[in-house]
Structure 1
């Protein structure tokens, strides 16, 4: 992953998002150790404090937990928590943007649903 340093999303949020994606993709499983702030800092060429802030975001959401002296580990329920979070925040925001754009372009609900089905069918093939 390449961090977007020119974007509006803070780097620590990008780190948090990247770790969530690693968990979602199965690269880091439940109760497995996640990268340390120093490993993340070296991987992405960022300040360790920035990496720690991304890790702490996940800890605040109980997606990872700390084992004193050992580091951070993926919570047993992390996968479900991330799925719920992304469905309720990210997916709903994207759907709202699509629906708003469709209204502005005069695209009916039926047309929009058909477009979604077409895209879904192409991805399944």
Structure 2
């Protein structure tokens, strides 16, 4: 991952999302040790406090858990928690934006549904 310092998204959020992606693509499995704030700071040349803030997000969401003296580990239900979070936050936000734009363009529900359906079929073929 390359951090986007030009993004309006804070670096600690980018770190948190990257770690989530690592979990989702099985690069880091359940009960496996997570990178430390110092490892992340060295990997991305950032302040350890910034890396810690990204990790703390995942701790607060129970995606990670602490083992005293050993570090952070991925929880057994981390993938499900991430899926649920992204479904409830990311997809909902995107759907609202899509519906708002469709309304601006006077695109009806049926037309929008057909568009989504055709795009879904195309994406499965890729």
TM over 0.5: yes
State the aligned residue count.
Answer: 125
> Helix, strand or coil for the counterpart of 1:21?
helix
> Once the 2 structures are TM-superposed, how far is the Cα of residue 6 of structure 1 from its aligned partner?
1.6
TM-score by length of 2: 0.95
Gaps of 5+ in 2: none
Pair 1:98 & 2:105 matched:
no
Residue of structure 2 in register with 1:77 after alignment: 77
Map Cα deviations across residues 40-72 of structure 1 (whole Å, 9 max, x no partner): 111111111100110011111111011111110
Q: What is the CA–CA distance in structure 2 between the aligned matches of 1:111 and 1:25, rounded to whole Å?
A: 34
Residue of structure 1 in register with 2:114 after alignment: 114
Residue of structure 2 in register with 1:55 after alignment: 55
Q: Structure 1 segments of 4 or more deviating over 3 A?
A: none
Q: What is the CA–CA distance in structure 1 between the aligned matches of 2:44 and 2:105, rounded to whole Å?
A: 40
> Once the 2 structures are TM-superposed, how far is the Cα of residue 90 of structure 1 from its aligned partner?
0.5
Which residues in structure 2 correspond to 1:7-86 (within 5 Å)?
A: 7-86=7-86
> Once the 2 structures are TM-superposed, how far is the Cα of residue 39 of structure 1 from its aligned partner?
1.1
Q: What is the CA–CA distance in structure 2 between the aligned matches of 1:104 and 1:20, rounded to whole Å?
A: 34
